[in-house]
A and B are shown apart, each in its own frame.
Chain A
Amino acid sequence: MDELIIAGRKFKSRLLVGTGKFASNELMVEAMEQSGCEIVTVALRRVDIDNPGDNMLKHIDPKKYLLLPNTSGARDAEEAVRLARLARAAGCEPWIKLEVTPDPYYLLPDPIETLKAAEILVKEGFIVLPYINADPVLAKRLQEIGVATVMPLGAPIGTNKGVRTADSIAIIIEQAIVPVVVDAGLGAPSHAALAMEMGADAVLVNTALAVTPNPGKMAAAFKKGVEAGREAFLAGLGEQRQKAEASSPLTGFLRN
């Protein structure tokens, strides 16, 4: 059985789904179901006390999905640690997708603050899944302090551009001692398939599902992309070469 194992916990699905930006909770749930995912990310925000509204947790079955809170909105390590502690206090298991993004335009993760926060959170017993730029040296440093995965970006969050950082991700995968989850920027099932063919252990997708008029159908398509890519990786891809190599026999032609 080909399972994804993160911090000793086994998952059948290699597709993680983000819950942001869906037009309704119903569409979010449909995408979650069609994707076959077992891990969903959520964010933590202030309650609007004058208008508390609908709590999205009502729509997520905790027996079916592991809730992975993120630290989105954190601009430095201190804010990220504060959010992680609050997420744990809210009743979550101590899993945290660590993201520190001080730059609002490209939402690129701050490597120094991410490393600082990861050190603190690992010490406090959190299972830390850091969102990082595709930097093999940073990935290594994070693994040395005990993170549960590394989550390099394919392209900036929400851009749907695909695995633009492929060469660096390949190095991260080659050197990894924890699962590599390609996160951010994947806009099409073919992007997810490519990441998996390269040997990524899993991918995380949100925007690509949330912005289409049919999130359920797109989630089903991503599920197939992830599975196809994984199977191709396990089978072993043929080597790329410069010159043609005939697939048909080079003997017995109808000529003298």
Chain B
Amino acid sequence: MNIAINGQPKQFEAPLTVAALLEALQLDAERVAVELNREVLLKERFAATNLKNGDSLELVQFVGGG
């Protein structure tokens, strides 16, 4: 299935949850925030949310800033 992550098209095998995707990308779920199709996805739902073809994800994290 095709999923856009931070604007970049990527391909993954279904089924895939958000939690599994973060793990595959070696991202610490505790320190990342996720938007799925422009809606904030709370951490509690990462494990139960299955991605589907055409989904668009934003993965953001904190960086230094003033």
Q: How far is the CB of B56 from chain A (nearest CB, A)?
A: 13
A47 touching B62, Cβ below 8 Å? no
Q: How far is the CB of B61 from chain A (nearest CB, A)?
A: 5
Contacts of B6-65 to chain A: CB distance below 8 A: 6, 8, 25-28, 30-35, 40-43, 58-65
Given contacts A44-B33, A46-B59, A85-B40, are A18 and B65 in contact (CB under 8 A)?
Answer: yes
Q: Mark A68-91, 1 if CB is under 8 A from B, else 0.
A: 011010000000001001111111
B41 touching A89, Cβ below 8 Å? yes
Chief secondary structure at chain A's binding surface: mixed
Complex alpha-carbon distance, A193 and B31, angstroms: 36
Is A39 in the interface zone, CB < 8 Å from B? no
Complex alpha-carbon distance, A163 and B43, angstroms: 42
Question: Which of A49-57, A115-123, A221-229, A242-250 interfaces with chain B?
Answer: A49-57
Interface residues on A, range: 35 or more
Q: Looking across the interface, which residue of chain B has its beta carbon closest to that of A157?
A: B66
Question: Which of A5-13, A20-28, A165-173 interfaces with chain B?
Answer: A20-28
B62 touching A44, Cβ below 8 Å? yes
A90 touching B32, Cβ below 8 Å? yes
Contacting B66 at CB < 8 Å: which of A52, A56, A70? Answer: A70
Complex alpha-carbon distance, A188 and B66, angstroms: 16
Q: How far is the CB of B62 from chain A (nearest CB, A)?
A: 4
Complex alpha-carbon distance, A16 and B62, angstroms: 17
Q: How far is the CB of B3 from chain A (nearest CB, A)?
A: 11
Q: Looking across the interface, which residue of chain B has its beta carbon closest to that of A55?
A: B31
Q: How far is the CB of A32 from chain B (nearest CB, A)?
A: 11
Q: Looking across the interface, which residue of chain B has its beta carbon closest to that of A17?
A: B66
Is A98 in the interface zone, CB < 8 Å from B? no
Q: Mark A199-215, 1 if CB is under 8 A from B, else 0.
A: 00000101100000000
CB neighbours (8 Å) of A67 from chain B are 62
Q: How far is the CB of B31 from chain A (nearest CB, A)?
A: 5
Q: Looking across the interface, which residue of chain B has its beta carbon closest to that of A158?
A: B66
Q: How far is the CB of B4 from chain A (nearest CB, A)?
A: 11
